[in-house]
Amino acid sequence: MPRGGWAPPGRVTSACDVAGTGLVHLPAERSPGAPTPPARFTASRMIAGIVLAAGFARRMGRQKLLLQLEGKPVVRWVVEGLLPRVEDVVVVTGHDDSAVRDALAGLAARFAVNPRPQEGQGSSIAVGVAALKPWTRAALIALGDQPKTPDPVVPALLAAFARGGKPIVVPVFKGTQGTPVVFAREVFPELHRLTGDAGARSVVNARPERVERVVFDLPMPPDVDTPEDYARLHVQ
């Protein structure tokens, strides 16, 4: 996923431009294994969320996604923030699969296990995309260690995608490209081929003309990579 990198500009939209527009929101469909989509999804309108939660947290020295923040695990903040905005959430886990599932108990999320999380974030994105339901129109990919993404961000990204026609929508925070990122179904094959730890940055940067950038007058949402990052979250 692009975090802190910059690419040649595609189309740029201010978050103010998309505020208040209609989003693609449909009731959640959780029934597993259906060979065809429910009637309300026949137009391939479903938006899914993929939460990357398979990392080793080497810099933290312990599983950062399970750390408590204001009474609940870091990763639960991320999933709870997405559930009202999308119709399906896939959480990609790794060697801490059981613990992450426990941290998300009671939430209407699905899980996909990355059997090789040591291969990096790209492999987790590929696993998440493979787990999407076949009628998914687009996926918003979020990091499991970004618990404090400002409330306006996800709705603005989805609104820009719904009205703009670009297959990739990324946020820009005070000049820095960040996450989460929306990818249309036509980009899924590229995501499914990802490997290594660069995440989806290569897909975003490959063809700037297909990228919509939504500009926010907000700082980059903090992630939790180190003990210092975790400490800063408690004083914000």
Q: Is position 194 within any domain?
A: yes
CA–CA distance, 62 with 163 (Å, rounded to integer) = 41
Residues whose CB is less than 8 angstroms from the CB of residue 152 and which lie 6 or more positions away in sequence, other chains included:
15, 19, 216, 218
Q: What are the residues facing 47 on neighbouring strands? A: 138
10-residue mean pLDDT series, the chain (236 residues): 46 57 33 42 74 73 81 96 97 94 98 93 96 97 95 96 93 95 98 88 94 94 77 66
Q: Is position 38 within any domain?
A: no
Chain centroid to Cα 41, Å, comes to 21
Are 220 and 4 within 8 A, CB to CB?
yes
Q: Residues in the chain, how many?
A: 236
Please state the pTM of the whole predicted model. 0.81
CA–CA distance, 12 with 101 (Å, rounded to integer) = 37
What's the CATH number where 156 sits? 3.90.550.10
Reply yes or no: is the peptide bond before residue 180 cis, omega within 30 of 0. Answer: yes
Tell whether the torsion through CA atoms of 27, 29, 30 and 31 is positive or negative: positive
User: Which domain range does residue 58 map to?
Assistant: 11-22+45-233
Structure token digits, residue 48: 């899914």
Q: Is position 2 within any domain?
A: no
Total count of domains within the chain: 1
Q: Is position 29 within any domain?
A: no
Tens of pLDDT, residue by residue over 145-186, are 999 999 999 999 999 999 888 999 999 999 999 999 999 999
Biggest distance spanned by C-alpha atoms of the chain? 48
